[in-house]
Chains A and B, each alone.
Chain A
Amino acid sequence: MKALVCVKRVIDYNVKPRVKADGTGVDLANVKMSMNPFDEIAVEEAIRLKEKGVVTEIVAVSVGPAKAQETLRTALAMGADRAILVQTDDDAEPLAVAKIVKAIADEEQPGLIITGKQAIDDDSNQVGQMVAALLGRPQGTFANEVSVEGDSVVVKREVDGGLETVKLALPAVVTTDLRLNEPRYASLPNIMKAKSKPLANKAPADYGVDTAPRLKTLKVSEPPVRVAGIKVADVDALVAKLKELGVA
């Protein structure tokens, strides 16, 4: 079975984002970018399934600017077989991305589509669910454990009160949570090899999808700033201060 993995190029998770002074967005010029951490987990899971002999080929897909190629090369260096870049300079919204992934899935007919549970830039948590909806296939969101059993996949999900297990008919869509696995690092020889793996360059129009945003961003602002705190010398002073504030 073929696996389709969706990866996104986002601001590195260690960078503290800065809001532009004119309020039009977050300043991404000269900021370190990386693969979205949840997508690394998705790529890793696909590779592990290939190592188990469940998956035969891994196709990595990214929708984004020309530089998203680097993100796809990272996926190829980790172990993906080939990549598809759907290039757009629009800040594609989850619905548009989902439509593109659906169109690619119609062509590629993967048994499993794996995405991260959310991208750490827009924090939407939508693409996987939307892809599943558009394909009319089941979804295993926030996966903590994935095992393919015959023509179905059993997914243990992280839910609010604990864990829950669902069984989905293949083909299915799975979104990864943090604890699904520990992604591997790409080794130097594999990074070199990845340069010669196939990477197809496409445009949203090839799939008949309009990536113009439906949500208009009117303004991006800094969150309210907290007033500076105080440091107390010992436990008694802490308790006294809390009593004074009436909070405990």
Chain B
Amino acid sequence: MANVLVWVEHDGAAVKDATLAAVTAAAKLGDVTALVAGSGVDGVAAAAAQIEGVAKVLKADDAALANALAENVAPLIVSLMAGYDAFVAPATTTGKNVAPRVAALLDVTQVSEILSVEGPKTFTRPIYAGNAIATVESADAKLVITVRGTAFAKANATGGSASVEAVSGAAESGLSTFVGSEIAKSERPELTSAKIIVSGGRALKDADTFASVITPLADKLGAAIGASRAAVDAGYVPNDYQVGQTGKIVAPEVYVAVGISGAIQHLAGMKDSKTIIAINKDE
């Protein structure tokens, strides 16, 4: 069995759901070790140790690792990779930022956003905005993979009992500094893990109409709110609501598209939803 190192996505306090899907994918490849990197991450490491399927947790606690700056995190992962055959990260913005940097430093190619594990080095992944599925086989000695969260079942967040081991070796690269963040506050379910999503498009006319039409329906259904690029560009909602090839990829039980034409780039982000409902004037 291969040894697999999984990047744990967290916000400093809790493990993000995307990690659980990455653990499921990684478990198909071999023994899973979870890497928790950050500053003051004892709680996250303890939570990661509970994830079913995780055999060991490596905890890298260092001020340089706060905010997961790729310049500081990638060299640490590369140094750990001497003992592992594969590095697996969820295809979140952090995973997409860090993993290719790790891959290049290891001189291997990365397999992005895998949908399934077909063999020890064989995977499927979407290309052309999900209009084609490629089955690819890596010829590299070590694998670097990002995992599409909606394509794998989430591992149980409890039930595991992995040991936590502290690792060191992190250093400040001096190349980049974190200045600040503007994280949108939301009481709603997270878009990528919501069971129901109500999405609005250009036809909602303006921010007020968007809020008065989409929000009550989403509240009623306990749903997350999404949007098309047109709605985001027109300023109805913030960027991080965007569903599509360049926004978030979602696959809820129910996706309600209101006033969205269904461009290729939007479909790429939601066409794996179980039930899709379109409310549209244009027949």
Q: How far is the CB of A177 from chain B (nearest CB, A)?
A: 7
Is the beta-carbon distance between B100 and A162 smaller than 8 angstroms? no
Q: Which A residues are CB-close (under 8 A) to B175? A: 137-138, 168-169
Q: How far is the CB of B109 from chain A (nearest CB, A)?
A: 4
Q: Which B residues are CB-close (under 8 A) to A141? A: 70, 93, 96-97
Q: How far is the CB of A109 from chain B (nearest CB, A)?
A: 17
Within the assembled complex, what's the spacing in Å between the Cα atoms of A111 and B184?
33
Across the A-B interface, the 5 shortest Cβ-Cβ residue pairs: A129-B100, A133-B104, A130-B104, A138-B175, A126-B100
Is there a chain A Cβ closer than 8 Å to B254's Cβ? Answer: yes
Interface residues of A in 201-248 (CB under 8 A from B): 214-223, 226, 229, 238, 242, 245, 247-248
Is there a chain B Cβ closer than 8 Å to A66's Cβ? Answer: no
Is the beta-carbon distance between B133 and A122 smaller than 8 angstroms? no
A residues near B (Cβ < 8 Å) are 11, 13-14, 16-17, 19, 26, 38, 93-95, 98, 117-118, 120-134, 137-139, 141-142, 144, 154, 157-169, 177-179, 214-223, 226, 229, 238, 242, 245, 247-248
Which interface residue of A157, A218, A238 has the most chain B CB atoms within 10 A? A218
Is the beta-carbon distance between B134 and A217 smaller than 8 angstroms? yes
Provide 17 A-B residue pairs closer than 8 Å at the C-beta atoms, listed in order of the A residue. Answer: A11-B128, A38-B246, A120-B245, A121-B127, A123-B113, A123-B129, A125-B96, A126-B112, A133-B102, A159-B93, A169-B174, A214-B139, A214-B140, A215-B139, A216-B137, A220-B135, A223-B132
Is the beta-carbon distance between A215 and B128 smaller than 8 angstroms? no
Is the beta-carbon distance between A121 and B128 smaller than 8 angstroms? yes
Contact among A38, A166, A223, A248 with B126 in the assembled complex (CB-CB below 8 Å): A223
Q: How far is the CB of A248 from chain B (nearest CB, A)?
A: 6
Q: Which A residues are CB-close (under 8 A) to B99? A: 129
Contact among A17, A117, A247 with B128 in the assembled complex (CB-CB below 8 Å): A17
Within the assembled complex, what's the spacing in Å between the Cα atoms of A214 and B221?
46
Q: How far is the CB of A16 from chain B (nearest CB, A)?
A: 6
Is the beta-carbon distance between A26 and B128 smaller than 8 angstroms? yes
Q: How far is the CB of A25 from chain B (nearest CB, A)?
A: 8
Contact among A120, A226, A248 with B221 in the assembled complex (CB-CB below 8 Å): A248
Residue of B whose beta carbon sits closest to that of A122:
B127
Is the beta-carbon distance between A123 and B109 smaller than 8 angstroms? no
Binds A, one of B24-32, B40-48, B50-58, B232-240: B232-240
Is there a chain A Cβ closer than 8 Å to B138's Cβ? Answer: yes
Within the assembled complex, what's the spacing in Å between the Cα atoms of A218 and B138?
10
Known: A133-B101, A163-B182, A215-B111. A123 touches B126 (CB 8 A): yes
Q: How far is the CB of B123 from chain A (nearest CB, A)?
A: 9
Is the beta-carbon distance between A167 and B109 smaller than 8 angstroms? no
Is there a chain A Cβ closer than 8 Å to B227's Cβ? Answer: no
Is the beta-carbon distance between A221 and B133 smaller than 8 angstroms? yes
